[in-house]
Structure 1
Amino acid sequence: MLDGNFYDSMAVQVASPEMISAGVKRHIGMHEIRTTQKSSIKSAYQYGALYSIKLGIINYGVPAIIENNKGLTDYQLHLVTRGTCDIETSYSGSRLKEGHAIIIDPLTPSSIRYHADCSKLIIRVPKALLDHCVLSFSDAVTKCNVSFSSESINLGLNQEALDVLNLVCRSAVTNGNFASKKRNISNIPLSNYFATKLLEFFENNTHRIVSELSDNKIIEAVQDYISRNINDNISITELASQLNMSKSKLFGEFSREKGISPAAYIKQKKLIAIHERLSNPNKDSTSVSQIALDFGFNHLGRFSSDYKKLFNELPSETVRKSRHWQDKTFLKE
């Protein structure tokens, strides 16, 4: 579970919520604060940085409303370490309790209501950093803005996520108590690792894009294998084995992408290849029956029927038309 004491131990007590607000403006981003109390013995904060990533551990100690009417140019991770806060954006509203987190997209106006008992970790992640991380997926991903789900998640139940956050906080650099190291380029790999983990932990639109790209690669691999083995009797078991996937997944991919079964697709590709050969009869003296057998069609009557359904003519008609056209061309020459 979430160790609120770990984050609280990093925070330093200050005189007022206004001082915290000033620090947030300086390190995290601009906003307006509204509160009925000017001071609290519970007010505390600490700020740090991990290369281009900015962090803040915040406890206003009083009920406070933080408003940002324009949004920031970067992403904001909000994780409640104690108490409760309400976050409203232009597209959703969430109540975050201890352990719950949400990421607010760039340029998204927000209104955050802190309860008096609320302590929170805020991490500002540069848009350029996330763009760099998703570049490893595909150029297609970077052509759209990364957008995170408006639903909060309970990071308190994800031990891996907590371990990553604790590592980032311990490694953060500040003039205060986060760490004593100087900011240096050695933190770049960790900041990249953290940004990549955010894409893994929080639902976002790159999941769908990467999935679609993966699906396309599967279809491309199938097409390539069939083309290289077009004369063989390719079984679905063999095809699934070559692609290292189950037969059910193979059927699912073809149903979604092609609207037909893998077996029907293989037959279709074979018939197209035969049609191309029959359309050039002068280049191939092999009989129609032998060509069909060469492509694995052992039932010639069924082959002719399938061929006609696809090309609206019998194989013999394809040969006749092709020869007729070539004879006319020869006479003109």
Structure 2
Amino acid sequence: MVFRLLNEKSRIFAHADPYAVSDYVNQHVGSHCIRLPQTYGAEASLSHRTFGDLDLCRISYGGSVRVTSPALETIYHLQLLLSGHCLWRGGPEREQYLTPGELLLINPDDPVDLTYSDDCEKFILKLPARLIEQVCRDNQWSMPREGVRFASRYNLDDIEGFGNLLALICEEAESEQAVPQIAEHFTRIIATKLLAQVANNVKRLPQDEHSASFERILHFIDSNLQQDISLEQLAELARVSPRTLYGLFEKHVGSTPKHFIRQKKLEKVHACLSDPSVRVRNITEVALDYGFLHLGRFSECYKSTFGELPSDTLRRREA
């Protein structure tokens, strides 16, 4: 592979204690535990960048190490093996060795059990589940109730242009003039490309007579997120009964109208708090602008959706 995935500017650790690297990964990339054999001298290295809602990580533990986790819960991990080999235990009687150029896509509810070889190095892309769900909603693809699941193992060459795309994302992430809108754009491309080119359980159904009406509904919601949007308004816009309206939302986005609108409002608040170009006086003002009157409940919903409090998002953009 000739793709350049993170350079020295992104280096966090070099020749480091594997447990120190593991602690950092737990904070920024995904919760896990590591186990090393009763030998010492392993020197780990790690490079890391945050790019919008993505986390990019290049990691080597410098020795044989077993990495386990019950599940990643709200994130997908895309792991590209750069060198060495990795033993993946995907369930009873399901052990497979990954070799350089192979990809492992770990779904949010998949347990993690990986053993690195001494010379193993990986590139890991962390993708929040809500971004995959958002692309499905925007494209009106039918999401299964159990959530979107991808096939686990494939070759980099199976996804046309994916290696170059990862390299370009790393280059943009390391740019001195990073632009939030560019990060958002590339994030959508990554999520869309995975959904379109990697085997998964999402159904991309042909449009029916209600599709145009539902598209009008989505446009109306996006254009009026600072307003109180009633179910009666949406039903009248789509020229359907409230019962049919619920059916449309269930079919196209796997959600109720109320939950979908709240999710879109939360995403807009998150975008405002994340983007340095958007002037924010305080979190309360932004929350009230989008109709969140109970601030304690708003903070709980926000943390449940994005994995951090609104104050954490605002603090991170100001760092």
**TM-score, scaled to structure 2:** 0.58
Alignment-derived partner of residue 126 in structure 1: 128
- Within 2, Cα distance between the matches of 1:64 and 1:145? 31
- Within 2, Cα distance between the matches of 1:38 and 1:197? 42
> Is residue 162 of structure 2 the alignment partner of residue 166 of structure 1?
no
Structure 1 outlier segments of 4+, above 4 Å: 4-12, 156-159
Alignment-derived partner of residue 53 in structure 2: 52
The answer on whether the counterparts of 1:4 and 1:81 sit within 8 Å (CA) in structure 2 is no
- Within 1, Cα distance between the matches of 2:179 and 2:116? 31
- List alignment gaps of at least 5 residues for structure 1: 173-177, 221-333
- Within 2, Cα distance between the matches of 1:6 and 1:186? 18
The equivalent position to 2:176 in structure 1, one of 172, 176, 180, is 180
| Secondary structure at 1:87 match in 2 | strand
Q: Residues 139, 5 of structure 1: CA spacing in aligned structure 2 closer, same or farther, 3 A cutoff?
A: closer
The answer on whether the counterparts of 1:70 and 1:107 sit within 8 Å (CA) in structure 2 is yes
Q: Give 1:179 deviation, angstroms.
A: 3.9
- Within 1, Cα distance between the matches of 2:71 and 2:179? 30
The answer on whether the counterparts of 2:84 and 2:117 sit within 8 Å (CA) in structure 1 is yes
Q: Give 1:200 deviation, angstroms.
A: 2.5
The equivalent position to 1:199 in structure 2, one of 180, 187, 195, is 195
What value does the CA root-mean-square deviation take over the aligned residues?
Answer: 2.7
**TM-score, scaled to structure 1:** 0.56
Alignment-derived partner of residue 68 in structure 1: 69
Q: How many residues align?
A: 206
Alignment-derived partner of residue 309 in structure 1: none
| Secondary structure at 1:141 match in 2 | coil
Alignment-derived partner of residue 3 in structure 1: 2
Specify the code of the residue in structure 2 equivalent to 1:84: H
C-alpha deviations, 1:52-73, integer Å up to 9, x for none? 1111100111000011024332
- Within 2, Cα distance between the matches of 1:113 and 1:15? 19
The answer on whether the counterparts of 2:83 and 2:122 sit within 8 Å (CA) in structure 1 is yes
Identity %: 23
The answer on whether the counterparts of 1:57 and 1:121 sit within 8 Å (CA) in structure 2 is yes
C-alpha deviations, 1:251-300, integer Å up to 9, x for none? xxxxxxxxxxxxxxxxxxxxxxxxxxxxxxxxxxxxxxxxxxxxxxxxxx
- Within 1, Cα distance between the matches of 2:191 and 2:32? 24
Q: Give 1:185 deviation, angstroms.
A: 4.1
The answer on whether the counterparts of 1:3 and 1:81 sit within 8 Å (CA) in structure 2 is no
**Greater C-alpha radius of gyration:** 1
In terms of fraction of residues, the more helix-rich structure is: 1
The answer on whether the counterparts of 1:44 and 1:58 sit within 8 Å (CA) in structure 2 is yes
